[in-house]
Amino acid sequence: MELAKLIPSSAEELHHQLALLMVVSGAATFLTLMFGPTAPYGRYTRGGWGPLINSNIAWMGFFLAYHLAPNSKISPLAAVGIAIQIVGWFNVMQADRILTSLRKPGETGYKIPQGGPFRLVSAGNYASEILEWCGYALAARALPAAAFAFFAFCNLAPRAWRHHKWYLSKFEDYPKARRAVIPFVW
């Protein structure tokens, strides 16, 4: 294969190639996190697990993926996507408040999160973030946004599943109807 064929000839083609790379890396991440070792995330992040992406750079990429997409006009479908994204964002904020208020200063031990998205899933924060990015993808109606939503799912869903399994093993009184990350399903 000629090297010239691998180099994108337009910004749209570059967008497309980067989005496909995100889909492929998302699938690899999902499989690794489901069947490989547990990897630290969020406040548990530490060195030794590969490169970290500065969140400001990641957010700029999402912003550009949306605003540079050829079809970024607000349609009824985009409005629904924006509404879903906002609901997801509010749920993320609520889930974070619930998690940070589980322990009083000086307390140790684990507790079962209650309320908000935790009524339905063990990882209400992860489920809400996935919902948020799915809404974003629907609003953007562009492959890069959909690729990111897919990657977010692939990155967070296995972690949610492991959290769910941990809660079930740790607490005998854990709510049996709760799922890991997708209400009523998984």
pLDDT computed for residue 20 by the predictor: 83
pLDDT computed for residue 69 by the predictor: 57
Q: What is the pLDDT along the chain (186 residues), one digit of tens a residue?
A: 565 566 767 767 776 787 788 788 888 888 888 888 777 666 566 667 666 665 556 655 665 565 555 555 567 888 898 889 889 989 999 999 999 999 888 999 999 999 999 999 999 999 999 999 999 899 888 888 899 999 999 999 999 999 999 999 999 999 999 999 999 999
CA distance 106 to 21: 45
Q: What are the domain boundaries of the chain?
A: 89-102+113-186
The whole model's pTM is what? 0.71
pLDDT computed for residue 152 by the predictor: 94
pLDDT computed for residue 124 by the predictor: 97
pLDDT computed for residue 3 by the predictor: 57
